[in-house]
Structure 1
């Protein structure tokens, strides 16, 4: 199973192209391994100050990406973006009341 986060319309359309390609490629694992390793990139080393800042945040129990994520996405915006990318309708403004559920 492949992550659907960046695949447009992945929930709206019933296609599994990436999964089918992966299953076909698994029939020759050496070629698949070579292809995956050929696409891999070595991560760039962090500057010492950034490394120390991330270690300090981790010591405090704060995920290193929590601050940047909070700055990038207002509350609920990430879910809205994922729903748009995956082809799902927007979430309702609020939960339906009892009358709407019984109708």
Structure 2
């Protein structure tokens, strides 16, 4: 799964700025479990999303679909994370 994800990222040709912003957006997410104030976390995430949108659109003005395509990678990454967590739980059950 991880290698498939990495291969899907290659055609997007993300630079260091895009990678950094996308990483920060993944880390600062209000939908994490057990957050006491998810709305505050969402407020922290908003400027990062806006910065990524502006940067991607300036870097690739002829490709307006790139920002949503980049954001969709977060969904893919979370899916990999969930599958990894499921695998860890199943391994613990086997032991």
If the length of structure 1 is used for normalisation, what is the TM-score? 0.22
Compare the two structures and name the one with the higher helix fraction. 2
If the length of structure 2 is used for normalisation, what is the TM-score? 0.23
Bigger RCO (CA 8 Å, 6+ sep):
1
Specify the structure having the higher radius of gyration (Cα).
1
